[in-house]
């Protein structure tokens, strides 16, 4: 019997009516003769609300306790969905991450799935139950609950699809698929019928929230084809897979990432080894550095600027403060920046893409602070206040309104 994994995000289960709607989709799939494993996120803004509750008590909550707290959101939605499926006449059982066999490492708040022990899942599937699994969570070797990081339910779903060798993995959300830009912000954004793992991975990493980037990485690794579609309209979505039948598009999408901070070190000595000392210090603390810009040396000194995620910025500044070679130098941090990117496999063979993007920004009088390119993406750092205008302009340049 075919096995289908279906994942529903927070807005898809936000209230009783939405839970009932999800139960209808799930039970219809079950009645059509499939085994169904469902992954759900916490209802609506529950996870944010729980974070606020912790913040009312402490600015530095122990990470273990945060995971214990945040995992509660998914516990509510799985039990409600199982009840709703039962109400529609189909047997359903809910399982927390640990009951579903999710073993993770012990990085609380950003845990990685190490393996899934599928015995219990197999038993429940064999009993002809719809199995409703809590996304975003697992258990570590200390028998503590862990969470996978924000948006982690997508990864739970893909991991389950891989572990159970599911025939399909459907990611239901509140938009009809993957678009050329966030359809809530850019009215002219177009739905893509297909996209490759590599392009989707770039889009997700560079700010397209519709799929968590780790879920795409995992889907690529284990060859899990994904379908991203709406839980609210019955329309075909976007297929994420290895190669698409479509011609390589010059640009597949435009994204905005407002999570970046730019750190600059002014007047470092223009001698070998400085970049190594700075970036190895950050790497040792697992601080990911993104765009790096180094000025040409002049009068024996140079400037180095780079971006890190805003959450890592304070720690990065603190670490730089401990480096003797930077003693007495000015280190600045700007968090009012945003990274705008264009992604598309077709860029490899089209040298004009960057200039087309820069022209669109110039026409809006938007200044570019930093630039980074790879084979399939171009990213620019600009002031945050201009970010939405920049996305709209760049999108218009590559996807003119018909």
CA distances from 387 to 209, 256, 368, 392 (A): 16, 7, 11, 9
CA distance 52 to 44: 14
Stretch binding ligand ASP (CB under 6 A), from 112-120, 144-152, 158-166, 307-315: 144-152
* Tokens representing residue 60 in the block: 């530095």
> HEC profile for 329-370?
CEEEEECCEEEEEEECHHHHHCCCHHHHHHHHHHHCCCCCCE
CA distance 18 to 361: 41
**Contact pattern from residue 9 through residue 28 relative to Mg ion, giving x for each residue in contact according to CB under 5 A and a dash for the rest:** x-------------------
Contact criterion met (CB below 8 Å) for 385 and 336? yes
Tell me how far, at minimum, the Cβ of 46 lies from ligand ASP, in Å. 7
Stretch binding ligand ADP (CB under 6 A), from 22-30, 98-106, 207-215, 372-380: 207-215
Tell me how far, at minimum, the Cβ of 245 lies from ligand ADP, in Å. 20
Contact criterion met (CB below 8 Å) for 21 and 232? yes
Binder to ligand ASP among 19, 25, 36, 42 (CB under 6 A)? 42
**Contact pattern from residue 103 through residue 142 relative to ligand ASP, giving x for each residue in contact according to CB under 6 A and a dash for the rest:** --------------------------------xx------
Binder to ligand ASP among 10, 101, 138, 183 (CB under 6 A)? 10
Contact criterion met (CB below 8 Å) for 124 and 3? no
Tell me how far, at minimum, the Cβ of 228 lies from Mg ion, in Å. 10
**Contact pattern from residue 227 through residue 266 relative to ligand ASP, giving x for each residue in contact according to CB under 6 A and a dash for the rest:** ----------------------------------------
CA distance 151 to 27: 25
Residue burial 334-344, b: 16+ Cβ < 10 Å; e: rest: beebbbbbbbb
Among Mg ion, ligand ASP, ligand ADP, none, the one that 136 touches (CB under a kind-dependent 5 to 8 A) is: ligand ASP
Tell me how far, at minimum, the Cβ of 115 lies from ligand ASP, in Å. 20
**204 is a contact residue toward ligand ADP (CB under 6 A):** no
Stretch binding ligand ASP (CB under 6 A), from 150-158, 265-273, 290-298, 325-333: 150-158
Among ligand ADP, ligand ASP, Mg ion, none, the one that 47 touches (CB under a kind-dependent 5 to 8 A) is: ligand ASP
**71 is a contact residue toward ligand ASP (CB under 6 A):** no
Q: Which 131-160 residues touch Mg ion, going by CB under 5 A?
A: 151
**77 is a contact residue toward ligand ADP (CB under 6 A):** no
In this structure, the number of other CB atoms found within 10 A of the CB of residue 69 comes to 17
What's the Rg (C-alpha) of the chain? 23
**12 is a contact residue toward ligand ASP (CB under 6 A):** no
Binder to ligand ASP among 11, 146, 153, 231 (CB under 6 A)? 153
Contact criterion met (CB below 8 Å) for 158 and 169? yes
Among ligand ADP, Mg ion, ligand ASP, none, the one that 344 touches (CB under a kind-dependent 5 to 8 A) is: none
- Which DSSP string do the residues of 282-326 spell out, in sequence order? HHHTTPPP--EEEPPPBTTEEEEEEEEEGGGHHHHHHHHHT-GGG
**34 is a contact residue toward ligand ASP (CB under 6 A):** no
Taking alpha carbons only, the member of 395, 8, 401 closest to residue 180 is: 395
Q: Which residues pair with 255 in a beta bridge?
A: 341
The distance of Cα 119 from the centroid of its chain, to the nearest Å, equals: 29
**Contact pattern from residue 106 through residue 145 relative to ligand ADP, giving x for each residue in contact according to CB under 6 A and a dash for the rest:** ----------------------------------------
Residues in contact with ligand ASP by the rule CB under 6 A: 9-10, 41-42, 47, 73, 135-136, 150-153
Residues in contact with Mg ion by the rule CB under 5 A: 9, 151
């Amino acid at each position: 019997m075919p096995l289908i994994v279906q994942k529903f995000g927070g807005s898809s289960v936000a209230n009783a009516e939405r839970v009932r709607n999800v139960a209808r989709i799930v039970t219809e799939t079950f009645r059509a003769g499939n085994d169904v494993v469902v992954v759900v996120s916490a209802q609506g803004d529950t996870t944010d609300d729980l974070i606020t509750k912790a913040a009312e008590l402490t600015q530095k909550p122990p990470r273990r306790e945060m995971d214990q707290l945040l995992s509660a959101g998914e516990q509510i939605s799985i039990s409600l969905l199982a009840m709703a499926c039962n109400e529609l006449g189909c047997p359903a059982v809910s399982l927390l991450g640990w009951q579903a066999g999710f073993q993770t490492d012990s990085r609380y708040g950003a845990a990685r799935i190490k393996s899934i022990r599928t015995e219990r899942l197999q038993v429940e599937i064999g009993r002809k139950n719809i199995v409703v699994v809590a996304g975003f969570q697992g258990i570590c070797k200390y028998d503590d609950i862990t969470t996978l990081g924000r948006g982690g339910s997508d990864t739970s779903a893909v991991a389950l699809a891989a572990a159970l060798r599911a025939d399909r993995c459907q990611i239901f959300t509140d938009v009809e698929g993957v678009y050329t830009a966030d359809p809530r912000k850019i009215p002219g954004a177009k739905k893509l019928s297909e996209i490759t793992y590599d392009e989707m991975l770039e889009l997700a990493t560079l700010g397209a929230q519709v799929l968590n980037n780790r879920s795409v990485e995992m889907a690529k690794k284990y060859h899990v084809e994904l379908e991203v579609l709406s839980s609210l309209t019955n329309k075909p979505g976007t297929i994420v897979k290895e190669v698409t039948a479509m011609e390589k598009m010059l640009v597949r999408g435009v994204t905005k990432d407002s999570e970046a901070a730019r750190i600059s070190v002014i007047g470092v000595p223009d001698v070998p080894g400085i970049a190594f000392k700075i970036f190895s210090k950050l790497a040792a603390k697992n601080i990911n550095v993104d765009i790096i810009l180094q000025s040409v040396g002049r009068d024996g000194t140079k400037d180095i600027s780079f971006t890190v995620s805003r959450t890592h910025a304070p720690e990065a500044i603190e670490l730089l403060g401990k480096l003797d070679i930077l003693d007495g130098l000015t280190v600045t941090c700007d968090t009012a920046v945003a990274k705008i990117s264009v992604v598309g496999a077709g860029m490899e063979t089209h040298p004009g893409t960057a200039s087309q993007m820069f022209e669109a920004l110039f026409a809006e009088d938007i200044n570019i602070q930093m630039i980074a390119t790879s084979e399939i993406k171009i990213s620019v750092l600009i002031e945050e206040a201009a970010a939405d205008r920049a996305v709209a302009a760049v999108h218009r340049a590559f996807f003119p309104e018909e």
